A and B are shown apart, each in its own frame.
Chain A
Amino acid sequence: MTLTHGCGCAGNPLIPKSCTILKITEETPDVKTFRLRAADGTKPFAPMPGQLAMISLAGVGEAMFSVTAQGDDWIESSIKRVGELTEALHDAGEGDRLGVRGPYGNHFPASSLKGKNLLFVGGGIGIAPVRSLILYALERRADYGDIDVLYGSRSYADLVFKEDLFENWPGALGTHITVDAGESCWQGHVGFVPAYLEEMAFSPENRACILCGPPIMIKFCLAALEKMGFSKENIITTLEMRMKCGIGKCGRCNIGSKYVCLDGPVFTMAELDELPDEK
């Protein structure tokens, strides 16, 4: 089987499509959301929820990001400033050019989740990849049962997608927001995500949990979910690894014989248990 994808110049999957930054949203002091459209006015590609985009700045480099949202002629990625490329991206302005190739990887099992209750658990920037599925499910609200989002970050200022969390989503789904440490501007729940999760005691009955956040949060959430009776088949996560090519060739994102860019990034906990412990 030969895979094709939306991008690629001269049939080369490593060559990006030239895109324009339509809009930049400052989510937190170190996270910005970039809305991107191809320079020819079209949508760069149409990813499934959870799929990845390789975003590049000429002369600086490229890196893999999840696509957090999409519209008729754009895709959006939310990018945290952590290194050289993301620093340069944060310095870019609306109208600037960058390169995009993709979509890469597998995606959340949107169809097999139909009819189920969905519990999304996110920490920090880990809300960005799962948001693609939250938005997908909201657009097809009747296809899914209860939807809950349990999300936390270090502080109120660090909560990504505040407009969704406090304006768009309440009413359409259950929102359960927490911050690590109390502060005067915050009236809501205070505490770490795993503890809040345990406190909420969601029933595992016909419910799948979609989990993404820092490794330490994943570890304790997993223990909490298992205690609540969730099976590993019903806990889904999306992994981050260093990636260069996105097409399963360059070598570095492997876990055992699987490549995160090609066979992932989405895995159930049952699938991850089969792989070497090197995440």
Chain B
Amino acid sequence: MDKNTKLIQKTALPDALAALLPDYRVFAPAGENERLAFTRIDAQNAFALCLSGTPLMPPKELLFPRSETLYGTDIKTGDVSLPQTAGPTAVFGVRPCDAHGIANLDCAFLEKGYVDSAYAARREALTLIVLACAQIPYETCFCDSMGGGPAGSEGADVLLTETEDGSALVAAFLTGKGRAVKALWAAAGLLSDTGADATTKSANPAKAPPPCNLRISKDKGLAAKIAAAFDDPMWARFSEACLGCGTCSFVCPTCYCFDLDSENRGGTAEEFRCWDCCMFSDYSRMAGGHNPRPTKKERLRNRYLHKLAYFDERYGRTLCVGCGRCIGKCPAGLDIAAVIEWGGTL
């Protein structure tokens, strides 16, 4: 029997979160419907855990906050002060698409030259406890068309998959970080053997994941084909309805573009980093006024080509994991899945 695959009862999950509290800052999906979000768990609210949906905001912000102070500069002396770093963090109930997204962020922040040290420190301290989708959360989910799947394990330290009868989760402890979680859960008496290899027919096999609602065909040569379509008139068509609101970037588990700026607070200048969006008109505008991407056509083309071609050229991965959030939340109905399908037909 695989000693790193165990069974945990769903009724024991509040205890499982509580067992992590002495060693980690713990985050898990809590709240109802639209308010569902990765929430800091403490001994009081561990019972608010909600496993039936997917939070609108991916857990990306635990690694790459919406806004963070990188350093402070004393305006008189020029002395630099650094913010404190957070300690070990465990996030429970991450969906496979979001963990796949974090594997993409790792490329951007940790590879090809410089290491982004603020991201690297948080990444090192982060344990991902991934929950396979027993039901597909959104109408617009298409992760199984994008190299992942509802039970995908990429990026996961622990992968939890529902059993056939839905009463328990099969827990696969996949990495050193995952096995540290296993030790805590085992010590709390929360794990039992799966019995999966018993001579009798398996009592608690993990349920096979359901297929996604949105099925698209992603062409193997998509990156090269769509990059070659730089001058295609379709970019103007795709961008016609775009409002430039940035919602697509905000909800995306893989968007990582950021802005750096400085704010004067008393005698200290706070140098901060915050999320940015390539659809904003001032994103690439230079101080002299020149903008290499002056209209939403050029900006949208750059957005999709970055996700589907340029990132692939640089890191060998597509920068879309098929979570479907941007399709569901776009007020103007823009649809990256349609662009991916179109790219394949070129």
Contact = CB atoms under 8 A, between A and B. Distances in A.
A250 B286 contact: no
Contact of A85 (B116, B287, B302, B305): B287
Interface in A254-279: 254-257, 262, 276-279
B75 A58 contact: yes
Interface in B163-202: none
A257 B309 CA distance: 8
Interface stretch (B5-13, B91-99, B147-155, B260-268): B260-268
B117 A11 contact: yes
Contact of A248 (B73, B112, B271, B286): B112
A200 interface: no
A61 interface: yes
B43 interface: no
A187 interface: no
A257 B310 contact: yes
Contacts of B109: 249
B117 A256 contact: no
Contacts of B342: none
B116 A249 contact: yes
B258 A250 contact: yes
User: Which 6 residue pairs are nearest across A and B when measured between Cβ atoms?
Assistant: A83-B287, A251-B257, A58-B269, A59-B264, A59-B269, A18-B78
Interface stretch (A114-122, A189-197, A239-247): A239-247
B108 interface: yes
B286 A240 contact: yes
A255 B273 CA distance: 23
A252 interface: yes
Interface of B: 70-71, 73-75, 78-80, 82, 108-109, 112-118, 227, 230, 256-264, 269, 271, 273, 276, 278, 283-288, 290, 292-293, 298, 302, 305-306, 309-311, 313-314
A257 B256 contact: no
Interface in A150-176: none
B341 to A, nearest CB: 22
Nearest to A12: B117
A15 to B, nearest CB: 5
Nearest to A98: B78
Contact of B287 (A2, A18, A86): A86
Given A3-B113, A18-B78, A262-B113, A249 B256 contact: yes
B259 A15 contact: no
B114 A18 contact: no
Interface in A44-70: 56-63
A278 B75 contact: no
Contact of B278 (A59, A252, A256): A252
B260 A2 contact: no
Contacts of B70: 12, 14-15
Contacts of A12: 70-71, 82, 117-118
B287 A247 contact: no
Contacts of A252: 257, 276, 278, 283-284
Given A9-B82, A14-B70, A15-B71, A82 B287 contact: yes
30 contacts: A10-B117, A12-B82, A12-B117, A13-B116, A15-B71, A15-B80, A15-B271, A39-B78, A58-B78, A59-B263, A61-B262, A85-B287, A215-B290, A242-B287, A244-B258, A248-B112, A249-B108, A249-B109, A250-B257, A251-B278, A252-B276, A252-B278, A255-B292, A256-B227, A256-B305, A257-B309, A257-B311, A257-B313, A257-B314, A276-B230
Given A12-B82, A247-B116, 13 more contacts: A1-B113, A10-B117, A12-B70, A13-B114, A58-B78, A58-B262, A60-B269, A63-B287, A242-B283, A248-B113, A250-B257, A253-B284, A257-B311
A59 B116 CA distance: 22
Given A9-B71, A250-B259, A251-B258, A242 B286 contact: yes
A108 to B, nearest CB: 20
B312 to A, nearest CB: 8
